[in-house]
Amino acid sequence: MNKFSEKIKRLIPSKRKLFQLYAALLFNANAKGFITGNIFKGNSKQMCVPGLNCYSCPGAVGACPLGSLQGSFSADRSTLFYVGGILLLFGIIFGRTICGWMCPFGLIQELLYKIRTPKIKKSPVTRILSYFKYVVLVFFVFIIPITYAFRDTPLPAFCKYICPAGTLEGGIGLLSNEINASYFSMLGPLFTWKFALLMSTVVACVFIFRMFCRFICPLGAIYGFFNRISFLGVKVSESKCTHCNLCVNRCKMDIKHVGDHECIGCGECIGVCPTKAISWKSPIPFMRNETPEKEAKKDNKTAKIITRSIVGIILAAALISTFVYAWNDDSQSGITPPEQSNASDVPDGEKPPLGNKVGDLCYGEDLPTVSPDGISAEDTFNPVKTGKITVINFWGTWCTPCVNELPYFDRIATEYKDTVSVVAIHTNMLSDTAPEYVKNHYAASDIVFACDNSTEGYYGLLGGRGTYPYTVIIDENGIIKNIFVSSLHYEELKTAIEEITK
Amino acid sequence: MIFVFKIFTYSKSYGILNTHFYGELILMAEKSVSNARLVLRLLTSGYTVISGIFLTHACITMYLADAYSRESAASALSSCLIVLIPAVLFAVAGLIFEFITDSKIDDTPNRKDIKSILTRFASKKDITECDPELTSLIKKERKRRKIRTVSLSVLTAVSSAVFLAYSLNGNNFSADINTSVIGAMKLLIPCLIITFAFAVYTVYRNEKSIFNEIELLKKAPNGEMTENAEKCDGFYCREIVKVVLLIVGTGLFIYGYLSGGIEDVLTKAVNICTECIGLG
């Protein structure tokens, strides 16, 4: 009976596993997103979550710290201070205990490791490999984004070329919903590369404990710098330590000492130490040791139960309220098309159907134009009443592929000046960055730059669902001929236009 | 087999069946369980790897045929089921089997840290009192390790410098981002491979050298264990740094928040930049 009850106890997840699961649910509380196939657009995304959690995951309710950091290099200085401050706070308070207790991708890796296969144990080789994440940090998180930031091109290189969490949670998370079936048309070499990388990571994590955390994750590399001085984590009492190294031998991470930059603060070494030299750090600064009174208080069972109950209630309340907030948030659909006076009977789910007259979908509202001098509400433009073939491109200065494809639109605008009107409509969000960008790069361009209204109305009416870039081509009669949900090359644009002009 | 094994072990532990014959049977049963565990683990490993390969191959095939669509993805996934289903079944079977047989996921210990063994061993020996030839051999081993370690540090520094010089030269990064990154990788990967290979060589040679030194030290006489002088553990310095960084972090956060830094974070978080999540 004892053995059986021990077996049953082994089935119960540990406190750390429960907390990891809790964190994963809390950071991905937007259950509605998995049903609608849309990402959450509420204000909670102003705040970064501590762990690696892609903000393009349909369930994500917070921003990814790594994605935000890379994006901040091409943004205003205040963004860099804001994200830098968040990372500094997370690092100094938690250190790498975030990896051990709060990272959803870390949880996925640990669950994969539970599959019963022969395992590759840590060795001097894995210790050497653990330094590779610093190379990834320096090159993909700093050098490339900063280099391209000087070219006014935002480029989150780690997210784009490496991050398997983004591929799994964001890419596959969105593709798996049939509402996003049109996204398949944009898949190409990048997705193939990232999918191969994701599969390699998943398979490797079955054999190697937390392979991604140990060898690749730049976020862990950043938090690792703070491990020795963080408020939370594990510490070793030098007076009690006999240097038997049982803790290091037991640990599955590539640590040299408990609490160094590789330690994820899982606490498994605490039970292994024969002299009880390892313990949790005191979160109160300047408190070296627990006083005897405090040690005695710890043994008080009633106090423990009460404290745990209160903490449990608070955590449960936080989780439930986050779920409810995300479910009820109306900005979910993000883009709310305004009412139209002349709307035809096109069913909502079919807007905008190819072949429909755009006038049936779009109201005749003029959009403010963007020029090197600024955004002008007086000097307006109506993208659907040009009388020519109109290429409407929805873009943003914050969006890498948008910025990369603009030169092709510029070329088309110049070459087909008489027959084609090219309109580039910037998102309402961060529209104040558009004039300077236009001034620096497209001051003499034939492209007409405009700015969408406050609810991204035009974008929504023409079928946009949150992905950028997004291009719609309308013929002279106002009929929608093509819709592209991915970035375009010059040849693709040219082919599309020539098919219309035939 | 497991049931029979359980019966025998319980019988043995209660002293009911305590004969040599049943002892032999128990040993055979234990060996069978161990073999079964190994086979199950190997099958799970094999199918896991094959599943990964099949799925990647399916993705590459769709890319090469320029046939990415929901239908083709569903079709590719269904064709991979032939390996995915056994992989899942074996994984589940492995978990159930090991639950029944009480084995742990990691039943082999990690490698011991050789350096710490040497440090503790060396602290008990006095090499100044031993044979000069032995002392010179020990010093030779230490010198060789130092040379290798210094060489590795130099190689790492040179590789880093070369690569940083390349990266900081803006001319190497053109508007064609993919080509620029691939070009940088063509320099980075060889640098990494060379440094990694030398690092592995250094580590393993140093390990061998440490073993040699331990063997040599065994011949040295025992010395008096010197108590380490009480080291300043820098506790208060660390606490001050903690508090200062906390204040700095809070200050940066508040300043960035009030200056409008959140708008950019929000914009990127609520819009899907498709290439940023690999959709491209």
C-alpha dist (Å) from residue A173 to A50, A128, A272, A285, B233: 20, 34, 40, 42, 48
Beta strands A480-484 and A470-474, pairing class: antiparallel
- Give the helix ranges, DSSP H, for A120-277: 124-129, 132-136, 144-149, 157-161, 164-165, 173-175, 189-207, 211-215, 218-224, 246-250
Residue A215 has pLDDT above 50, yes or no: yes
Per-window interface: B 94-123 vs A, CB < 8 A = 94-95, 97-99, 102, 105-106, 108-113, 116, 119-120
The chain-wide mean pLDDT, for chain B, equals 83
Of the candidate ranges A99-108, A230-239, B215-224, the one whose mean pLDDT is the lowest: B215-224
Q: pLDDT class for B20, splitting at 50, 70, 90?
A: low
pLDDT for position A343: 43
Rg (CA), chain A: 27
Burial B254-273 (b: 16+ CB within 10 A, else e): eebbeeebbbbbbbbbbbbb
Contact list in B for residue A91 (CB cut-off 8 A) is 249
Contact list in A for residue B48 (CB cut-off 8 A) is 115, 117, 203, 206
Phi, psi angles (nearest 5°) of residue A37 = 80, 10
B276 closest CB neighbour out of A115, A132, A400 = A400
Residue A128 has pLDDT above 50, yes or no: yes
- C-alpha dihedral over A398, A404, A410, A411, to 10 degrees? 180
Report yes or no: A30 and A60 within 8 Å, Cβ to Cβ.
Answer: yes
- Contact at CB, A185 and B69, closer than 8 angstroms: yes
Report yes or no: A412 and A375 within 8 Å, Cβ to Cβ.
Answer: no
pLDDT for position B103: 64
Report yes or no: B280 and A191 within 8 Å, Cβ to Cβ.
Answer: yes
The H or E element containing residue B195 is helix B177-218
Q: pLDDT class for B23, splitting at 50, 70, 90?
A: confident
Alpha carbons within 13 angstroms on the beta-carbon side of residue B177 total 23
Average pLDDT over residues A437-454: 88
- Selected residue of A117, A134, A175 to mutate for chain B interface (largest B Cβ count, 10 A): A117
Distance, in Å, from the CA atom of B114 to the CA atom of B144, rounded to the nearest integer, reads 17
Cα angle A296, A299, A300 (rounded to 5 degrees) comes to 100
State both tokens at A47: 């705040």
Does B124 lie at the interface with A, CB-CB under 8 angstroms?
no
pTM for this one?
0.87
Does B128 lie at the interface with A, CB-CB under 8 angstroms?
no
Report yes or no: B178 and A404 within 8 Å, Cβ to Cβ.
Answer: no
- Contact at CB, B173 and A147, closer than 8 angstroms: yes
Q: ipTM score of the complex? A: 0.85
Nearest CA in chain A to B163: A139
Report yes or no: A228 and A259 within 8 Å, Cβ to Cβ.
Answer: yes
User: B137 vs chain A: nearest CA distance in angstroms?
Assistant: 25
Report yes or no: A223 and A99 within 8 Å, Cβ to Cβ.
Answer: yes
The chain-wide mean pLDDT, for chain A, equals 86
Distance, in Å, from the CA atom of B46 to the CA atom of A49, rounded to the nearest integer, reads 36
Per-window interface: B 68-97 vs A, CB < 8 A = 68-70, 73, 91, 94-95, 97
Strand partners, A450: A369, A425
Per-window interface: B 44-63 vs A, CB < 8 A = 44-45, 48-49, 51-52, 55-56, 59-60, 62-63
Distance, in Å, from the CA atom of B183 to the CA atom of B176, rounded to the nearest integer, reads 11
State both tokens at A109: 């890796």
Does B262 lie at the interface with A, CB-CB under 8 angstroms?
yes
Report yes or no: A430 and A424 within 8 Å, Cβ to Cβ.
Answer: no
State both tokens at A364: 């005749």
Phi, psi angles (nearest 5°) of residue A446 = -85, -5
Strand partners, A279: A235
Average pLDDT over residues A359-385: 73
User: Among residues of chain A, what percentage have pLDDT more than 70?
Assistant: 89
Distance, in Å, from the CA atom of B198 to the CA atom of B207, rounded to the nearest integer, reads 14
Nearest CA in chain A to B92: A115
Residue A380 has pLDDT above 80, yes or no: no
Distance, in Å, from the CA atom of B81 to the CA atom of A348, rounded to the nearest integer, reads 36
pLDDT tens per residue, range B115-151? 777 777 777 777 666 778 888 888 898 999 999 999 9
Nearest CA in chain B to A468: B273
User: Among residues of chain A, what percentage have pLDDT more than 90?
Assistant: 50
B233 closest CB neighbour out of A161, A196, A238 = A238
- Give the helix ranges, DSSP H, for A329-448: 358-361, 400-415, 434-441
pLDDT for position B252: 95
Contact list in A for residue B192 (CB cut-off 8 A) is 132, 135
Q: pLDDT class for A395, splitting at 50, 70, 90?
A: very high
